[in-house]
Amino acid sequence: MFAQSLSLITRNFWMFAVVVSIMAGFFVFEDVSGSEPNKGAYAMWLFLSFWMQQAVISGKEKIAGQVGWPNGLWSFLWKNLVLFFSSVILPSLLLALSGFDNLGFIILVALLLAAGAFATLGTWPVSNAARGDTSLAAAWRRGATGFWSRFFRLVAGYVVPAFVSVLLVGLLHPGAVGSNVGMTDPVVVRLLLFYLLAVSINLIGTVYVSVVIARSYLADDQKSGQQAVSPAE
């Protein structure tokens, strides 16, 4: 699955290069201007995940070859938001309100809960795009098959990029940047290089998670097809 993830990235290299550059530029602007974190980052990852899962399910690894309005996009978005809120946002808020002030611990718990939720119900959002059974019961049934192997793969896709990004912050981030620096200042250039690397690492994790979930859906779909054909044989 990791090899397929790298194949998707290389086949759509220029699109990914544009996405990474835009996101890195936004993050640099936030650091320099002191503005609030960009709320659109998660939305961009969601759109990217949708296209990746579409590519895996359709067998067309070139995203440019997917023409027309994407089927099931809005269902994919709101279902992912429901899973994300229930498995990440809500538990994190409860931990924070209960007195936990260790941000690293809260983030780790949130990532593990996200891996568990998407290992179980991750095929629910993509089922609309695949024109399959879109019910929660069907997603639960698909999630029950091969749960642990999928869970550990998703942990790798979520936790490893986050861990590496934290290391990068400690090793490479230049620290506080004043709003009076110019965009060609060496500190800003270092910031841009830092975010290009950090976003690229998170991109690999996002594509890998998308491939794991899409492959899980395909495996169940093929298994169901074989079971439907076998009585006729």
Domain residue ranges in the chain: 2-225
What's the pLDDT score for residue 66? 60
Token reading at 50: 């949708």
Distance from C-alpha of 111 to C-alpha of 103, rounded to nearest angstrom: 12
What's the pLDDT score for residue 185? 59
Residue 3 Cα distances to 15, 17, 65, 126, 208, angstroms: 19, 19, 21, 21, 9
pLDDT tens digits, residue range 167-214? 776 676 655 554 445 555 567 777 788 888 888 998 999 999 999 999
* Residue appearing with tokens 């759509």: 12
Nearest to 8 by CA among 40, 56, 69, 41: 56
Is the pLDDT score of 18 beyond 70?
yes
Q: For 70, which DSSP code? A: P
What's the pLDDT score for residue 54? 85
Is the pLDDT score of 75 beyond 70?
yes
DSSP E strand boundaries for the chain: none
What's the pLDDT score for residue 38? 58
Is the pLDDT score of 230 beyond 60?
no
Token reading at 79: 């279902």
Q: What is the mean pLDDT of the chain?
A: 80
Residues 6 or more apart whose CB falls under 8 angstroms from that of 1 comprise 153, 208, 211, 212, 215
Residue 32 Cα distances to 21, 29, 36, angstroms: 16, 5, 11
What's the pLDDT score for residue 35? 61
Q: Given its phi and psi angles, is residue 68 left (phi above 0), alpha (psi -120 to 50 degrees) or beta?
A: left
What's the pLDDT score for residue 205? 92
What's the pLDDT score for residue 148? 94
